[in-house]
Chains A and B, each alone.
Chain A
Amino acid sequence: MTKRISNTKRFFMMNPIVQFFKFIYLSIKIMFIVAGGHGGTREIGY
């Protein structure tokens, strides 16, 4: 059976230092996607 997650990928997945910065990046990115434009209730154009 082939390995689905490579060792390099797993290292980055589980490295707390790398993941800390990713955590901040993802928090901001997800907030902009979900909450942007008041949650999609502004400028809907209909």
Chain B
Amino acid sequence: MVSIQYDLGHLLILGAQLNCTIKSLEHGKNCNRKSPNDTDITPSPPRTGMPSRMTAKLVANNIIDSINNKKESRHHKGSMGNMGAACIASAGYGATKGSGVSITTFPIVPDYIKYPDTQGRALDRTFGEIGLAGHWLKLMLHYAFIYKAKMKPFWYLIPE
């Protein structure tokens, strides 16, 4: 029970840090945004897919450090303003007749300072492609992630 509370505590801290990072990246130094009705406006970080895996990895590494050093550690950090994400959506089925859309975005949280002319995104790393290749890619990732989840040999070499 203690370990569960410990994990949740770290997750909450990281979530709050991410929220603050997102807000400060989007709107300068303002970390307390409210609507005219005094309702808190708090954009939340993605909870699925690759960004959530990176979050979990950082939290796990911090917990490991904290246990090993016997004091709280937040050495491992990540920013969604410096992280890319990919999405592959099926648009058909069949190995020869199927179709899929591959979409990437970089960074996940728009950085208007680094990329002021492109709505905060790096255009060379933000793209969308449709075709049979996307379908094969989705199939490949399906098997790759199952392999990784089963922790078979060299599973850690497969990226998130």
Contact = CB atoms under 8 A, between A and B. Distances in A.
Interface of A: 12-16, 19-20, 22-23, 26-27, 29-31, 33-37, 39-41, 43-44, 46
Interface of B: 50, 54, 57-58, 76-80, 82-86, 96-97, 99, 102, 104, 106-107, 125, 129-134, 136-137, 140, 159-160
B136 A19 contact: yes
Given A27-B140, A39-B78, A34 B84 contact: yes
Given A22-B131, A26-B102, A34-B104, 13 more contacts: A13-B132, A14-B132, A16-B96, A19-B132, A23-B133, A26-B137, A33-B125, A39-B50, A39-B160, A40-B107, A41-B57, A41-B76, A41-B83
A13 B82 contact: no
